[in-house]
Amino acid sequence: MKKLVSIVLIALLVLTVFAGCSQKQMTVQKGKLLMATNAEFPPYEYHEGDAIVGIDAEVAALIAEKIGLELEIADVDFDSIIPGVQSGKYDMGMAGMTVTDERLQSINFTDSYATAVQVVIVKADSDIKSIDDLEGKKIGVQQGTTGHIYAEDDYGSDAVTLYQNGALAVESLKSGKVDCVIIDNEPAKSYVKENEGLAILDTEYANENYAICVSKENDALLKAVNDALKELIADGSVQKIVDKYIPAE
Ligand code: ARG
């Protein structure tokens, strides 16, 4: 009898462990979809009054709706998004974030929903006419971005000044503290439009893909977000939002 009881108990234990492994739950913070972003990156995310608006904010709202969760956005420093997603503080990161091999070591990405290029902003009257003129110049970048990584790899860390966001880097360019800013093309266009006397070099610096990052521990959430994103790309919803924020020239 005793033996039977232990066999049953062991069987139950094995079943519980098995069920626990195979049915990984989609876990989120507080029953909401908590997205981390850095809302200094128009037209992907920026402040409009009290609200955070932009392509990422709107696509994320549709994703949350599709998976039946309420979206909450946390506006944090760009370089704290990945650690925060990794540790489970945020459910996902969406911030015009480029997929890189290095980032894939610590987090997972959904399919890509946009492409981008790194460009160089200069003063309109600058002697920097192409990327070949960057040697020996002072380069401003947003800390933790791909622009930061490329600039340091290509020109060394002494040449690079780090800023908490793109807007501050552009302010510094205007006041002459740096000679150029390396940043993604769409925010670059928006900064050049808002500030007189700036120009974007014709040469493209690097091509990239944007995607949403999710913890490696949360495959169920990654799948849910990715499935929703795929549907929104397929039915044209993502394109509609992009067209609203990036009107064809
Ligand atoms: N695409 C670049 C990267 O992933 C810059 C993204 C910056 N995004 C932001 N919301 N500030 O590194």
Does residue 192 contact residue 123 with C-beta atoms inside 8 Å? no
Q: What is the CA radius of gyration of the chain?
A: 22
Q: How many residues does the chain have?
A: 249
Cα 88 to ligand 1 centroid, rounded to whole Å = 20
pLDDT at 21: 42
Low-confidence ranges of the chain (pLDDT < 70): 1-25
pLDDT at 31: 80
pLDDT at 22: 40
Mutate which of 47, 77, 98, 118 for ligand 1? The one with the most ligand atoms within 8 Å of its CB, which is 98
pLDDT at 49: 95
List of domains in the chain: 2-113+211-245 (3.40.190.10), 116-208 (3.40.190.10)
For the CA of 144, the nearest atom of ligand 1: 12
pLDDT at 51: 96
Task: Look at residues 241, 188, 140 and name the one whose alpha carbon lies nearest to residue 41.
Answer: 188
Interval 167-212: pLDDT, tens: 999 999 999 999 999 999 999 999 999 999 999 999 888 899 999 9
Mutate which of 97, 185, 213 for ligand 1? The one with the most ligand atoms within 8 Å of its CB, which is 97
Does residue 179 contact residue 126 with C-beta atoms inside 8 Å? yes
Residue type, 163: Y
pLDDT at 7: 58
